[in-house]
């Protein structure tokens, strides 16, 4: 055990997959034994260095157990200044044991959970004597469920459009003014990528001024690129503009294989020599000057590959034809932006792009489209809470597949203006079957959120993911809340509730951006309190999600907590 000084207290949080009750061990430098009793657990100091806090109550299925370590009574051998680190530390563990195994046992521990703000952060003992440091703490969302939403929500600019347009700004040698750029972690990382190659980024009025006239490098910051998959798009812009580029292999959410082979083969078709070594992609124009137009068929309509090749071809010598391209609204938005800079791109929104290269693009003013995925998330938030809300700005046709499915299960959705929607939801919603597909099909980025909703609908639903492998990791977390989901590779069979939601609050972990959003929505519907760790994923792609939900009447707060896997001894 590590000790800052003689007598300091260390913690060891065990999160084993027990079939009944989790445990916490507190390690301290003491030698006597003492037992303190409470309504639901025993404190037992067992010899030197072992102080065990043991629950003595049965806990019903699907109810999170909270164990609070408080300052021991004065007669306890742990009553010392160093032991003050025990004050207000809490640990939450969701139980997974079947109700049949636990029988009808119950206790006060099943009634409610208090705020995670009672973590070690709120102890006055964050001193050199404490085993915890502020750097060990992370934020979580604390969601009190079963509240109706009402009001109007403002939809931010599209994250996926903003990232592509920012990369596309490298193609322009003039100043570019962009509006509707959302304030997101991913956008800030893209700013870092741009600045690392000499692009000037300044906030101006309600938008940003981007000046890529004087590029100083063709190799963006490795750290920023590896944290943001969309930053790899700059390889197309840099090759088109400078004839060479060195870009690290990309990062982003862990949602299965997303190879760059289409990007590489497409760039080679435009006259680039590509080599991958030491975790980087090295590209240069074969003629030593510029890329040249060509033809390329994408084996799969990848959004990222389509956008990368569009930027490269916009500045290439000659004409380029790209076939079987992505048709997503974000692809159309990038094409519209580049055309406003003087590019000649035709066919955006169809499966074939025809691009005549222009060697020099000028500056422009441009407004990014509204985020259809954020809008879809709020539509599902209204549905899962059986609420009525309005939203704007939106482009309704971008949400056609989502609106159709929500109407199928029983929601009423009206286009109130050209850029506004209103949704009204009945108490009983029906099941449905959904398969994710490239646009205009149902978007993969809304599949996790829809899974949460379907757990609250009457009947059995089948949800199939065809775009990304490994993108149903939220299912395991939803099961901790009581969801009845059976998985078979990329297919989820969801048994809903005949009488509405029977989800119960518990601690869960967001494993990626959209899975995190799905858990927030489930928490809005669940009975009791849901604690969602890993919310940095959510902040990557949703601008002020918690604030927007609060303005609609939801009870959602940020609270400090200790990482689930933290062990300090």
Domain boundaries, the chain: 10-136, 150-156+371-556, 159-367
**Phi and psi (nearest 5°) for 502?**
-125, 35
Instruction: Please tell me the CATH code under which domain 159-367 is placed.
Output: 3.65.10.10
Which CATH architecture is the domain 150-156+371-556 placed in?
A: Alpha-beta prism (3.65)
Q: How far apart are CA 6 and CA 29, in angstroms?
A: 8
3-state secondary structure 403-460: HHHHHHHCEEEEEEECCEEEEEECCCCECCEEEECCCCCECHHHHHHHHHHHCCCECE
Q: What is the DSSP string of 92-123?
A: EE-----HHHHTT---GGGT----GGGSGGGS
- 559 alpha carbon, distance to own chain's centre: 17
What pLDDT is stored for residue 335 in this prediction?
99
Q: How far apart are CA 393 and CA 374, in angstroms?
A: 11
Active centre residues (catalytic): 253
Each residue's pLDDT expressed in tens, for the chain with a length of 569 residues: 233 333 323 333 333 322 222 333 333 333 333 333 333 333 333 333 333 333 333 333 322 333 333 334 444 443 333 333 333 233 333 333 333 232 233 233 333 233 333 333 333 333 333 333 344 457 889 999 999 999 999 999 999 999 999 999 999 999 999 999 999 999 999 999 999 999 999 999 899 999 999 999 999 988 888 888 888 989 999 999 999 999 998 754 443 444 789 999 999 999 999 999 988 999 999 998 999 999 999 999 999 999 999 999 999 999 999 999 999 999 999 999 999 999 999 999 999 999 999 999 999 999 999 999 999 999 999 999 999 999 999 999 999 999 999 999 999 999 999 999 999 999 999 999 999 999 999 999 999 999 999 999 999 999 999 998 878 989 999 999 999 999 998 999 999 876 545 899 999 999 999 999 999 999 999 999 999 999 999 999 999 999 999 999 999 999 876 555 433 32
What pLDDT is stored for residue 348 in this prediction?
98
The predicted model scores a pTM of 0.77
Q: Any residues with CB less than 8 A from the CB of 328 and at least 6 apart, and which? A: 160, 303, 438, 439
- Return the SS3 of 152: strand
Are 486 and 511 a contacting pair, CB within 8 Å? no
CA distances to 266, 395, 523, 526, 538 from 502, rounded to whole Å, are 49, 34, 11, 7, 25
What pLDDT is stored for residue 123 in this prediction?
36
Q: Angle of helix 372-384 relative to helix 400-409, nearest 10 degrees? A: 10
């Amino acid at each position: 055990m590590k000790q800052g000084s003689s007598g300091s207290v260390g913690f060891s949080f065990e999160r084993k997959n027990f079939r009944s009750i989790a445990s916490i061990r507190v390690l301290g430098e003491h030698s006597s034994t003492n037992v303190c009793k409470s309504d639901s657990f025993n404190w037992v100091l067992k010899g030197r260095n072992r102080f065990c806090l043991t629950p003595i109550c049965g806990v019903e299925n699907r109810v999170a157990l909270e164990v609070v370590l408080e300052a021991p009574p004065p007669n306890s051998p742990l009553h010392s200044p160093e032991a003050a680190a025990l004050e207000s530390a809490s640990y939450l563990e969701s139980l997974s044991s079947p109700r049949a195994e636990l029988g009808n046992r119950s206790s006060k521990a099943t009634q409610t959970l208090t705020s995670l703000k009672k973590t070690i952060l709120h102890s006055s003992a964050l001193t050199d004597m404490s085993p915890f440091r502020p750097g060990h703490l992370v934020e979580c969302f604390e969601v009190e469920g079963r509240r109706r939403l009402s009001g109007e929500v403002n939809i931010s600019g599209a994250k996926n459009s903003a990232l592509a347009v920012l990369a596309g700004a490298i193609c322009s040698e003039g100043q570019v003014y962009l509006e509707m750029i959302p304030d997101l972690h991913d956008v800030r990382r893209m700013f870092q990528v741009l600045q690392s190659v000499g692009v000037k980024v300044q906030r101006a009025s309600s938008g940003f001024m981007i000046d890529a006239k004087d590029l100083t490098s063709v190799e963006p910051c490795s750290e920023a690129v590896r944290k943001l998959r969309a930053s790899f798009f700059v390889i197309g812009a840099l090759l088109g503009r400078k004839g060479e580029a060195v870009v690290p292999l990309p990062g982003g959410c862990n949602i299965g294989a997303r190879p760059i082979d289409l990007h590489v083969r497409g760039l080679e078709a435009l006259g680039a020599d590509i080599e991958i070594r030491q975790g980087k992609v090295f590209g240069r124009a074969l003629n030593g000057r510029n890329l040249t137009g060509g033809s390329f068929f994408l084996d799969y309509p990848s959004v990222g590959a389509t956008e990368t090749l569009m930027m490269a071809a916009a500045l290439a010598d000659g004409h380029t034809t790209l076939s079987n391209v992505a048709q997503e609204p974000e692809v159309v938005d990038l094409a519209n932006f580049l055309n406003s800079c003087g590019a000649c791109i035709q066919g955006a929104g169809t499966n074939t792009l025809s691009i005549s290269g222009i060697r020099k693009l000028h500056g422009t003013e441009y407004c990014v489209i509204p985020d259809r995925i954020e809008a879809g998330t709020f539509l599902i938030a209204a549905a899962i809470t059986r609420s009525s809300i309005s939203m704007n700005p939106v482009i309704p046709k971008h949400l056609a597949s989502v609106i159709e499915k929500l109407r199928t299960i029983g929601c009423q959705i009206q286009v109130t203006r050209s850029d506004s929607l209103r949704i009204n939801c009945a108490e009983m919603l029906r099941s449905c079957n959904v398969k994710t597909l490239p646009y205009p099909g149902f978007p993969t980025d809304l599949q996790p959120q829809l899974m949460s909703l379907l757990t609250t609908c009457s009947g059995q639903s089948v949800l199939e993911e065809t775009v990304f492998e490994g993108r149903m990791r939220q299912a395991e977390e939803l099961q901790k809340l009581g969801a009845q989901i059976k998985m078979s590779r990329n297919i989820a069979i969801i048994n809903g509730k005949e009488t509405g939601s029977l989800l119960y609050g518990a601690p869960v972990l967001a494993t990626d951006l959209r899975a995190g959003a799905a858990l927030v929505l489930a928490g809005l519907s669940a009975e009791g309190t849901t604690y969602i760790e890993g919310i940095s994923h959510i902040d990557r792609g949703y601008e002020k999600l918690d604030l927007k939900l609060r303005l609609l009447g939801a009870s959602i707060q940020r609270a400090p907590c200790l990482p689930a896997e933290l062990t300090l001894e």
